Amino acid sequence: MSKPHIHLFTDGACSGNPGPGGWAYILRDPATGKEKEGYGYSPDTTNNRMELQAVIEGLGALKKPCQVELFTDSVYVGKGMEEWMAGWKRNGWKRKQKGRLVPVKNQEFWVQLDELLQSHDVKYTRVAGHSGHPENDRCDQLAVQAYKNRG
């Protein structure tokens, strides 16, 4: 039996970097149109951490393994998943910097995301932020609302 196909739209936002931040996701079953939104707040964080948290929360909300098309404006998340993560894992979650291995930034988030990627088949699709993409704009609105309202 094949895995259900799901669309996951995500965004993270931060007021200052670091500063208070928010994350948001929309899960959509394209076959039925059924949607679920989620969002949250962190008092002292960075934009990259909120971008990762949005994906982690969205994938974590799935109740069974799925084929997921991830739509995000975060090049950091996309490149991390598609280009960097395999090497980081091989090097014990370290990356090369000036010829030596140093710990990966946001390692705890990347490890969580890696665990979720073991259950789901995820395809990354980049969307341009603040470009009129309805779901990305909605996620941005929810993430900003989350940090402004502190949850």
Which residues are catalytic, by number? 11-12, 51, 73, 130, 140
Q: How many H-runs (helices) and E-runs (strands) does the chain carry?
A: 5, 7
Go through 101-137 and write b for each residue having 16 or more CB atoms within 10 A of its CB, e for each that does not: eeebebeebbebbbebeeebebebeebeeeeebebbb
Quick check: helix, strand or coil at residue 45? Answer: strand
